[in-house]
Amino acid sequence: MKLVACPRCAEAGSDRLLWEIPDRLWFPDCAFRLVRCGRCRFVYLNPRPDEIEIERHYPVDAYHAGGFPERLPPAFAWRLREIESRRRGGRLLDVGCGNGYFLAFAQERGWDVHGVDTAPGGIREARKRLGDRVTLATLREAAYPPEYFDVVSLFEVFEHLPDPIDHLREIRRILKPGGGVCLSVPNFASLERLAFGKWWVGLDAPRHFQQFTPESLRACLEPAGFEVGELRSINADKIQVGKRPITYCQESLRFFLRDLGLYPRQVSPSPSEPPAPAPRPAPAWKRALHGLEWALFSPFCLLARALDRDNTLWAWGRKA
């Protein structure tokens, strides 16, 4: 663990503790401090895991399992529609490309695609379809030429980065004049976070190094040289494959019930364990809980959408 200055304003020593949050996926006995900067009010982990320790809590290859989908998933279609509403083709870089499935679909739509990721397993899978268009490296290590890309995307990646503003400056360097960056992050100002507090699934300590509100995300993009063309909230089901409109609420409720001892504690198997057997039909009590959740959370999600306080932020920034 190492103490850090505020990732946004570099203030050190003035942060205030919000919550101590366990790693709710794999190591519930490990707690992490979520703090708010006393100067700019940015929310981040402090101290946070170093480069070696985070590998234990964030086994990146565990996030890239599964086969290639035969049809374009709705989340990928939504991403492409949003990008193509601003750019009709060109050279696209996906930062945190994982197994490259999104890039493969974008390539079928005529994009000149490239990807970068630090997950060896994900890159091995991506190279089966994309070859040397994907790179096992950090963005800076990849050392792309200046003014090379038309669009750079970061889907559910920005919150994981130890130096988010530095990454934005590197993205600006490799974007062509007028090029755009699109990114999505959990929305710390969402109704869900306000309702669930430290049990909100979007906190995801310690894998999420920082949390963003619309104001703090804009305050990162603009100093890095981007004009914010769009910044709004969306539901995670728009951007993440396999999510439903109430998924974040369901998972947050599970965390709360586990802390009360009212729900089984095991969430995800350790990445070193063999795959779990196929699930059996849900017991009656779980089916009843699912029905109650749909009845309770569906109106809540509709309200969040109407108020622009949904669980995920979507932003488009143009190179100024």
Question: Looking at this protein, which amino acid is placed at residue 255?
Answer: F
Q: What is the pTM of this model?
A: 0.93
Cα angle: 125, vertex 270, 292; to 5 degrees: 100
Cα angle: 17, vertex 23, 25; to 5 degrees: 150
pLDDT given for residue 69 in this prediction: 82
- According to DSSP, the residues that pair with 234 across neighbouring strands are 312
Rounded CA-CA distance 280/203 in Å is 30
Count CB neighbours of 47 within 10 A: 13
Task: Encode the chain (320 residues) as per-residue pLDDT tens digits.
Answer: 899 999 999 999 899 999 999 999 888 899 999 999 999 999 999 999 998 888 888 887 766 656 778 889 999 999 999 999 999 899 999 999 999 999 999 999 999 999 999 999 999 999 999 999 999 999 999 999 999 999 999 999 999 999 999 999 999 999 999 999 999 999 999 999 999 999 999 999 999 999 999 999 999 999 999 999 999 999 999 999 999 999 999 999 999 999 999 888 764 555 555 445 555 677 887 888 888 999 999 999 999 999 999 999 999 999 98
User: Does residue 182 contact residue 156 with C-beta atoms inside 8 Å?
Assistant: no
Delimit the domains of the chain by residue range: 16-59, 62-243+305-319
pLDDT given for residue 280 in this prediction: 67
Structure-block tokens of residue 160: 């994981």
Rounded CA-CA distance 166/175 in Å is 14
pLDDT given for residue 62 in this prediction: 67
Give the 3-state DSSP-derived string for 106-173, with helices as H, strands as E and coil as C.
HHHCCCEEEEEECCHHHHHHHHHHHHHHEEECCHHHHCCCCCCEEEEEEECCHHHCCCHHHHHHHHHH
Structure-block tokens of residue 304: 């969040």
Note the CATH number of domain 62-243+305-319. Answer: 3.40.50.150
SS3 of 33, please?
Answer: strand
Q: What is the DSSP letter of 227?
A: E
